[in-house]
Amino acid sequence: MFDPGLLIQSLPLLLAGLWNTVWLSAGGLLAGFVIGVGVCSLKLSERTVLRRLGGAYVSVFRGIPLLIQLLFIYYLLPRLGLDVPAWVAAMAGLALCCGAYLSEILRGGFLTLPPGQVEAARLLGLGGRDILVRIKLPQALRATLPALLNEVILLIKASSLISAVGLAELTRTAQNLAASTFLQLQFYLAAAVLYCVVNISLALLAGRLERRFEAGRA
Amino acid sequence: MSVLPLTKNGHEVMLEARGMSKRFGEHTVLRDISLSIQRSEVVCLIGPSGSGKSTLLRSLAFLEAYDDGEVFVEGELLGYDRAQGGRRVISRPARLREVRRNMGMVFQQFNLWPHMSVAENVMEALIRGRRLSRAKARKLALETLEKVGLVDKADAWPNRLSGGQQQRVAIARSLAMSPAIMLFDEPTSALDPELVGEVLQVMKHLAEEGMTMVVVTHEMGFAAQVADRVVFLDGGQIVEQGAPAKLFREPSSPRLAQFLKNYLERNSLFDDRPAANGTCL
Amino acid sequence: MDFSVLTEHAGEIGSGFLMTLWTWIGGVALALAAGLVIAVIQLSAGPWIRGALRCYIEVIRATPFLVQLFLLYYGGPSFGLSLSPMAAGLIGLGLYGSVYFAEIFRTGFTSIPQGQIEAAQMLGLTSRQIVCRVQIPQMLVLILPALVNFTTILGKETPVLSIITVPELTFVLTGVGAETFAYVETLLALCVGYFILAELCSRLGQWLERRASLYLTQGVRTPRTLKPQETAA
């Protein structure tokens, strides 16, 4: 059932899998953030068409399970003649879905900003994009930082689904090791422990930031 | 029926604290409280805020677990069971319920259950605790609501009632369980001034019917008029106690004198009647 | 595009859809029950049991659902727990959902004013009666939006069950896709299928919330005691 020697031997493989998980999630998060800001400004736009468009994006990418989105991208891109590496497809899938969630979090952050600030900035002659990048975004980011970190945890967990399209991230690595050694419990437990280490650290960090933020506001 | 302990002059002791103390962490809120309440006696606990009078009342119901000393309800030790070697352990919930069965309590914030109608609030414990049928419980609930003058509100929702009405429902809810002792924790403090009278009226009726009552209150008029005994607490200790007429006219401790003086200054601004003569309610 | 593959396999797809619905409802029911139990224990148990539950909650929250499923389905036999894919899927959904529901229930419990509980204690209600009659009815209304929201999330996890070969919608349709090479058609059908499920769930949730908010303002429910035979006094 357990073979410690084999576990130590395969530790480099597992860690490499974890590394893939982390950078795929990080890339997905960054791209998702850009998408999130875009969709969020659509949803906060004054034009009904754009608001509807943003709303549609959010409900589609939050409504359809991530696994289906990943399979879709994985199978659809080749059909469209786009021969992209598997990791690009995987990261794009994470980013598209993550963007929908981030846009809602950011929208919450933007809505808490007092409207007077934007008016003041406008009076000072700042343009729309400057107002977004220099006034609104930093504040929204600060206000939503704990929620954003929480989203990172969700993303890391969601990235396990990439295993279904064959990329050797942590879950897939564990799966391969489990299948070849028949030590199923050992390697899935090892994967679970690694996920725990990363995510519980992130959760602790989020909790600390949240407390600090609340203390700062009080 | 257990035989109740009797005092020297032959009265039954309904509720008694002996050398009771209560601490919150480092802070001692009640210090060596001894107090004995007889059948049909109405005792008002007064004192400045933070004097521990609400904590005392809550300890008498074991809503706060007192640390030292004892509380006896009709002769039975409340909240603790004696274990081997003289140590004591907190009673099991069933035992606690048993000792508290003849005790009713009315809270400052009414604490009605907002998801039940007025009648259902009164019926709940009758059905679940006393195992009455719905019909019987309803009948008893309506009778009790009649007593507090709210039978026409039986099927209203608590949130639709005024504060005074809600508090009267809370009294009825407690009363329906036919308690022998009723505890009131600042029953009128959360009420608008014009609603205080109706609640005090109900309590006065109860006193006249011979209910044993312990009342934490800021209403000196009520204490003067209805109480058999007033107990003045300050700093977690009983400073002085006695008949209201004596206590309010000739306070023997400077702390009580000061407390009464402050009270009169606050309350007699536009009221030429002295608040302590027992005529104003 | 040729959607005739869908009509040709309508029977399988239908049973896959039913399987998805069934695992979803079963998983939610298990998770709700377990979550409620966890929340009640957390509120009443001693520090050791509370600590153990806290660990359980943190571990489940920190690991991907897929890894939990693998542990249960492939790792289970190592400690004598051989489950069918279906059973593993249901139990997996139940375990995974239980911790999130437990957190929701816990906040619900703590949102009921302590005074209402003290009043119930003084009237001689047992702690079980207090939970069932005073706390749960009130908090259900408060936490309903959160419950509906997480039910939807749990629904979106059901496709993961296809990876351990539970014959639900995703499993059936990807199978059909692989067989006929009609990947795009089958995947589109999947998207539409889950989108409909999610939409239905959120509509149902909105309807429930409207009912619940009416209940909170206490306009919709006539008290049971208004029944004529009981009004005789």
The rounded mean pLDDT for chain C is 84
DSSP string, B101-118: TTEEEE-TT----TTS-H
- Asked if C66 lies within 8 A of A163 by C-beta distance, the reply is yes
Position C216 scores a pLDDT of 60
- Asked if A195 lies within 8 A of C156 by C-beta distance, the reply is no
Among the partner residues A76, A189, A196, nearest to C62 by beta-carbon distance:
A196
For residue B238, which of B220, B253, B257 has the smallest C-alpha distance?
B253
- Asked if A72 lies within 8 A of C160 by C-beta distance, the reply is no
**Phi and psi for B30 in degrees, rounded to 5?**
-135, 135
Contacting residues of C for A156, CB less than 8 Å apart: 64
Q: Which residue numbers of C have CB closer than 8 Å to B's CBs?
A: 113, 115-116, 118-127, 129, 133-134, 137-138, 141, 215, 218, 223-226, 229-230, 233
Instruction: Quote the CA–CA distance of A97 and B255 in Å, as a whole number.
Output: 70
**A-C contacts at Cβ under 8 angstroms:** 111
State how far residue B275 is from chain C, nearest Cα, in angstroms.
Answer: 32
Position A184 scores a pLDDT of 82
- Taking CA atoms, what residue in C is nearest to A203? C62
Instruction: Quote the CA–CA distance of A78 and A92 in Å, as a whole number.
Output: 14
DSSP 8-class letter at A64: S
The answer to whether the CB of C36 falls within 8 A of the CB of A140 is no
- Asked if B139 lies within 8 A of C233 by C-beta distance, the reply is yes
Encode pLDDT of A154-173 as tens digits.
899 988 988 888 788 888 88
Interface check for C71 against chain A (CB to CB < 8 A): the answer is yes
- Taking CA atoms, what residue in B is nearest to C113? B111
Chains A and B touch (3+ CB pairs under 8 A): no
Interface check for A161 against chain C (CB to CB < 8 A): the answer is yes
Between C56 and C217, the more confident residue is: C56
Position B38 scores a pLDDT of 92
The rounded mean pLDDT for chain A is 84
pLDDT band for position A64 (cuts 50, 70, 90):
confident
The Cβ-side half-sphere exposure at C117, using a 13 Å CA radius, reads 15
Between A131-135, B208-212, C169-173, the lowest mean confidence (pLDDT) is in A131-135
Interface check for C64 against chain A (CB to CB < 8 A): the answer is yes
Position C232 scores a pLDDT of 34
Chains A and C touch (3+ CB pairs under 8 A): yes
**Phi and psi for B37 in degrees, rounded to 5?**
-115, 125
State how far residue C117 is from chain A, nearest Cα, in angstroms.
Answer: 30
CATH class belonging to A4-217: mainly alpha
Among the partner residues C129, C133, C225, nearest to B155 by beta-carbon distance:
C225
- Taking CA atoms, what residue in A is nearest to C192? A64
Using CB atoms, list chains with 3+ pairs below 8 Å to chain C. A, B
Dihedral of the alpha carbons of A99, A100, A104, A106, in degrees to the nearest 10:
10
Contacting residues of A for C177, CB less than 8 Å apart: 75
Position B9 scores a pLDDT of 57
Find the mean pLDDT for residues A126-152: 79
Interface check for C170 against chain A (CB to CB < 8 A): the answer is yes
Taking the domains of chain C in order of start, what are their residue ranges? 4-232
Position C1 scores a pLDDT of 64
- Asked if C122 lies within 8 A of B115 by C-beta distance, the reply is no
Dihedral of the alpha carbons of A182, A187, A188, A191, in degrees to the nearest 10:
-160
pLDDT band for position C224 (cuts 50, 70, 90):
very low
Instruction: Quote the CA–CA distance of A14 and A8 in Å, as a whole number.
Output: 10
Contacting residues of C for B114, CB less than 8 Å apart: 138, 218
What are all long-range contacts of C38-47, with beta carbons under 8 Å and residues at least 24 apart? Answer: C38/C98, C38/C99, C38/C102, C38/C105, C39/C101, C39/C102, C39/C103, C39/C105, C39/C106, C39/C108, C39/C109, C40/C105, C40/C109, C40/C131, C42/C102, C42/C106, C43/C106, C43/C109, C44/C127
Task: Flag residues of chain B having pLDDT under 70.
Answer: 1-11, 268-281
Encode pLDDT of C64-79 as tens digits.
999 999 999 988 888 8
- Taking CA atoms, what residue in C is nearest to A172? C67
Among the partner residues C116, C120, C230, nearest to B134 by beta-carbon distance:
C230
Among the partner residues B101, B134, B139, nearest to C124 by beta-carbon distance:
B101
State how far residue C78 is from chain A, nearest Cα, in angstroms.
Answer: 6
For residue C194, which of C11, C12, C10, C16 has the smallest C-alpha distance?
C16
- Asked if C67 lies within 8 A of A160 by C-beta distance, the reply is yes
How large a percentage of chain C has pLDDT more than 90?
A: 34
- Asked if C118 lies within 8 A of B111 by C-beta distance, the reply is yes
Residues 6 or more apart whose CB falls under 8 angstroms from that of C16 comprise: C167, C168, C169, C170, C171, C172, C173
C-alpha torsion sign, points B43, B175, B17, B66? negative
Contacting residues of A for C65, CB less than 8 Å apart: 157, 160
Instruction: Quote the CA–CA distance of B172 and B176 in Å, as a whole number.
Output: 6
For an interface test with B, give the residue of C122, C134, C143, C226 to mutate (most B CBs within 10 A).
Answer: C122
- Asked if C124 lies within 8 A of B123 by C-beta distance, the reply is no
Residues 6 or more apart whose CB falls under 8 angstroms from that of B238 comprise: B33, B34, B35, B231, B232
pLDDT band for position C221 (cuts 50, 70, 90):
very low
Instruction: Quote the CA–CA distance of A112 and B158 in Å, as a whole number.
Output: 35
Chains C and B touch (3+ CB pairs under 8 A): yes
Quick one: B237 exposed, middle or buried, by C-beta within 10 A (0-12, 13-18, 19+)? Answer: middle
Position C117 scores a pLDDT of 94
Position C32 scores a pLDDT of 94
Between A169-173, A208-212, C35-39, C152-156, the lowest mean confidence (pLDDT) is in A208-212
- Asked if C67 lies within 8 A of A171 by C-beta distance, the reply is yes
Contacting residues of C for A63, CB less than 8 Å apart: 194-195, 198-199
Interface check for C78 against chain A (CB to CB < 8 A): the answer is yes
Position B276 scores a pLDDT of 45
- Asked if C58 lies within 8 A of A203 by C-beta distance, the reply is yes
Encode pLDDT of C102-148 as tens digits.
999 999 988 889 999 999 999 999 988 998 899 888 888 888 888 88
- Asked if B119 lies within 8 A of C120 by C-beta distance, the reply is no
Using CB atoms, list chains with 3+ pairs below 8 Å to chain A. C
Fold (CATH) for C4-232:
MetI-like fold (1.10.3720)
Find the mean pLDDT for residues A92-119: 84
Residues 6 or more apart whose CB falls under 8 angstroms from that of A74 comprise: A86, A89, A90, A93, A165
Find the mean pLDDT for residues C18-29: 92
Find the mean pLDDT for residues C218-226: 42
- Asked if C113 lies within 8 A of B109 by C-beta distance, the reply is yes
- How is residue B235 written in tokens? 């700093």
For residue C9, which of C198, C157, C167 has the smallest C-alpha distance?
C167
Position A215 scores a pLDDT of 67
Residues 6 or more apart whose CB falls under 8 angstroms from that of B212 comprise: B14, B15, B37, B38, B39, B40, B41, B42, B180, B181, B182
Q: Which residue numbers of B have CB closer than 8 Å to C's CBs?
A: 61, 63, 93-94, 97, 100-101, 103-105, 107, 109, 111-115, 117, 119-120, 123-125, 128-129, 134-135, 138-139, 142-143, 151, 154-155, 157, 159-160, 170, 173-174, 177
Q: Three-class SS of residue B224?
A: helix
For residue A70, which of C160, C128, B77, B156 has the smallest C-alpha distance?
C160
